[in-house]
């Protein structure tokens, strides 16, 4: 199947339904697919489970999606920070569910989904509330907890550049969760600052191969254009 390239954020999100599990890239606002998240608010899907590194910053991006009441549950590593007032208010009011996942475990659970790994044992969080009720095993004298992959119906990520078949190149820290999320979703949608001809990206520099990319939102004419 060929990769869809569009300049319409709404077209890029076609088929995203109520109740979907949506993986949203970004480390804070670095690599946040703002145009796609804004379009998701406009598109109207609700009762979503969102997987991201944190629970939104300020009033834009993921925070705006939360404020719109579209998210039933968020799975993340850092739900509270200086500018997470939207999430804070929703959580205190009992209007959103939260699953806190250590950052390394979050990345590995996503990677495991893309790699076809059924489950894995990790020492992170053993003996803490984060792993309460999970299976544990002693391996070589150390306690480990069983963790399962996180799979998404959709991944919304941001890359710096894509070629016309979907090979992706990221920009510095904006790379963060994008590569593992791209492999862990049934449908991967990426917004990019630039779409180039096939062969314009050195194969040695491709981070996410085109096989994982389903749709590309070309931001060349979008107001946020070439922001990192």
- What pLDDT digit, counting tens, does each position of 200-216 carry? 999 999 999 999 999 99
Per-residue pLDDT for 39 more than 90?
A: yes
**C-alpha span between 147 and 131 (Å, rounded):** 9
The answer to whether residues 211 and 183 touch, using CB atoms and an 8 Å cutoff, is no
What does pLDDT average to over the chain?
94
User: What is residue 228's predicted lDDT score, i.e. its pLDDT?
Assistant: 45
Give the confidence band of 222 by pLDDT, cuts at 50, 70, 90: low
Three-state DSSP class for residue 159? strand
The whole-angstrom separation of Cα 37 and Cα 23 is: 11
Percent of the chain beyond pLDDT 90? 90
Which residue matches tokens 């550049």?
Answer: 161
Average pLDDT over residues 135-163: 97
What's residue 226's pLDDT?
A: 46
Taking the C-alpha atoms of residue 193 and residue 178, their distance in angstroms, rounded to an integer, is 15
pTM, whole model, 2 decimals?
Answer: 0.94
């Amino acid at each position: 199947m060929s990769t869809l390239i569009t300049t319409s954020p709404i077209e890029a999100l076609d088929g995203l339904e109520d109740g979907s599990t949506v993986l949203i890239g970004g480390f804070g606002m670095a690599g946040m697919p703002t145009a796609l998240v804004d379009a998701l608010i406009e598109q109207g899907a609700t009762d979503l489970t969102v997987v991201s590194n944190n629970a939104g910053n300020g009033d834009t991006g993921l925070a705006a999606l939360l404020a719109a009441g579209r998210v039933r549950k968020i799975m993340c590593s850092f739900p509270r920070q200086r500018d997470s007032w939207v999430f804070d208010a929703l959580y205190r009011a009992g209007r959103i569910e939260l699953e806190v996942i250590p950052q390394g475990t979050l990345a590995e659970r996503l990677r495991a989904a893309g790699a076809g790994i059924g489950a894995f044992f990790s020492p992170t969080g053993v003996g803490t509330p984060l792993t309460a009720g999970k299976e544990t095993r002693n391996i070589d004298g150390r306690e480990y907890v069983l963790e399962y992959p996180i799979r998404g119906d959709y991944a919304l990520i941001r890359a710096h550049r894509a070629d016309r078949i979907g090979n992706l190149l990221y920009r510095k820290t904006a790379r963060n969760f994008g590569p593992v999320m791209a492999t862990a979703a049934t449908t991967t949608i990426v917004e990019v600052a630039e779409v180039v001809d096939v062969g314009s990206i050195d194969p040695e520099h491709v981070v996410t191969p085109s096989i994982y990319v389903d749709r590309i939102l070309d931001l060349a004419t979008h107001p946020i254009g070439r922001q990192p």
